[in-house]
């Protein structure tokens, strides 16, 4: 099972990013129609940047890893967590009328930068998840839950579902980080999660992100119903259901095709590179062995070699060693030596 999901990681990342892009679209719709409630535009910016981050990771995975692209992906991920954190902070402030100001970003950003200085891009990703992703996700979950208590029944249920999904996403995205040689990243990381659960953490995050997108989408439709009336809402809702089904089929098919294309292309490039490398190594070894063989043939014909093997006298051995030293230097070999043949006992 681990091998199956590992082989489909590119497709999982595609769906993961798509879930966030859908969340962004829904939040931007709510931003126009529900301005007085929550700052949905910030959550939309989180979805947009988080989706971009996952698709960048998909591209990097297809290339087999790339440090220059990590220099783009990790800051984009950090920016997405900042949008999530600000949505949670400003929403709670808007609901309760009190709460911390933007100064709270300073200590969190300092801790995030410390991780980058300690362990490079992986350290920056881990510290960003710990400080910004975990905090921002829980803060956003709290804001949605608090806001749900002031809504009608159906709106309350959808917002509570969204709160639960984002809260679980905060744990999955903020507590499980790349493997690093310090606690807690050395104990709870992507590799240990895969070994214990049998699922890649990206798939789990994808499911929670999809849950949040669906919940916020349902809330947007419930809100639209309150604004336009039940009859118009029912007609529009049926249209949106069919449009959603067709769009989902299209995106799933297109994503699968794109993932398979990149997978086959990368595998083909790796195969070609491997064959070229193997051929180069073979040719090099063949050339070296032929050079050694020619040197052995030349040494065998030297008049100073055979007397040392036949008589074993000190003078002949000294002469043979002198010849072997010259061959060793000319061939640039580690050592040249004689191995006398041992005849089996009668």
Per-residue pLDDT band at 283 (split at 50, 70, 90) = confident
Name the more confident of 21 and 5. 21
Tell me if 80 sits within 8 A of 136, measured CB to CB. no
Task: Please tell me whether the peptide bond between 184 and the residue prior to it is cis, using omega within 30 degrees of 0.
Answer: yes
pLDDT score at 225: 56
The distance from CA 167 to its chain's CA centroid, rounded to whole angstroms, is 21
Euclidean distance between CA atoms 31 and 257, whole angstroms: 34
The single residue listed with the structure tokens 């989408």 is 217
Per-residue pLDDT band at 75 (split at 50, 70, 90) = very high
Tell me if 83 sits within 8 A of 135, measured CB to CB. no
Per-residue pLDDT band at 74 (split at 50, 70, 90) = very high
What 3-state class would DSSP assign to 149? Answer: coil
Single pTM value for the model: 0.68
User: How far is CA 77 from each of CA 22, 174, 207, 310, rounded to the nearest angstrom?
Assistant: 17, 12, 18, 76
Tens digits of residue pLDDT in 248-277? 565 556 555 655 665 566 566 666 777 788
What 3-state class would DSSP assign to 189? Answer: strand
DSSP string over 42-86: HHHHHHHHHHHHHHHHHHHHHTT--HHHHHHHHHHHHHHHHHHHH
Tell me if 20 sits within 8 A of 50, measured CB to CB. yes
The single residue listed with the structure tokens 């949505």 is 87
pLDDT score at 36: 53
Q: Write out the two tokens for 187.
A: 């104990």
Percent of the chain surpassing pLDDT 90: 33
Euclidean distance between CA atoms 71 and 268, whole angstroms: 27
Length of the chain: 346
What 3-state class would DSSP assign to 321? Answer: helix
Tens digits of residue pLDDT in 292-303? 777 667 666 677
Tell me if 47 sits within 8 A of 27, measured CB to CB. yes
**What's the whole-number mean pLDDT along residues 301-326?**
72
């Amino acid at each position: 099972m681990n091998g199956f999901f590992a082989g489909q990681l590119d497709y999982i990342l595609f769906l993961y990013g798509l879930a966030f892009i859908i969340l962004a679209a829904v939040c931007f719709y709510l931003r126009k129609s529900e301005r007085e409630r929550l700052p949905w535009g910030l959550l939309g910016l989180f979805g947009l940047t988080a989706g971009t981050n996952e698709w960048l990771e998909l591209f990097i995975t297809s290339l087999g890893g790339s440090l220059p692209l990590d220099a783009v992906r990790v800051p984009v991920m950090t920016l997405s967590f900042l949008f999530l954190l600000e949505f949670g902070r400003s929403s709670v402030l808007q609901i309760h009328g009190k709460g911390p100001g933007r100064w709270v970003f300073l200590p969190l950003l300092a801790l995030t930068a410390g991780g980058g200085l300690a362990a490079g891009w992986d350290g920056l990703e881990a510290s960003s998840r710990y400080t910004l992703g975990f905090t921002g996700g829980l803060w956003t979950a709290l804001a949605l839950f608090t806001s749900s208590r002031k809504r009608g029944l159906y709106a309350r249920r959808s917002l509570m579902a969204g709160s639960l999904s984002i809260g679980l996403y905060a744990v999955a995205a903020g507590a499980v980080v790349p493997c690093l040689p310090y606690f807690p990243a050395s104990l709870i990381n992507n590799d240990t999660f895969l070994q214990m659960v049998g699922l890649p953490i990206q798939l789990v995050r994808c499911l929670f992100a999809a849950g949040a997108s669906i919940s916020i989408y349902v809330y947007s439709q419930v809100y639209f119903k309150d604004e336009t009336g039940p009859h118009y809402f029912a007609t529009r809702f049926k249209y949106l259901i069919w449009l959603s089904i067709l769009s989902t089929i299209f995106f799933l098919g297109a994503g699968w095709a794109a993932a398979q294309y990149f997978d086959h292309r990368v595998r083909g490039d790796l195969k070609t590179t491997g064959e070229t490398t193997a051929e180069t190594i073979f040719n090099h070894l063949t050339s070296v062995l032929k050079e050694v063989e020619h040197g052995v043939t030349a040494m065998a014909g030297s008049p100073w070699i055979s007397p040392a093997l036949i008589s074993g006298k000190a003078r002949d051995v000294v002469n043979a060693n002198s010849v072997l030293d010259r061959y060793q230097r000319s061939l640039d070999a580690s050592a040249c030596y004689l191995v006398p043949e041992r005849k089996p006992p009668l």
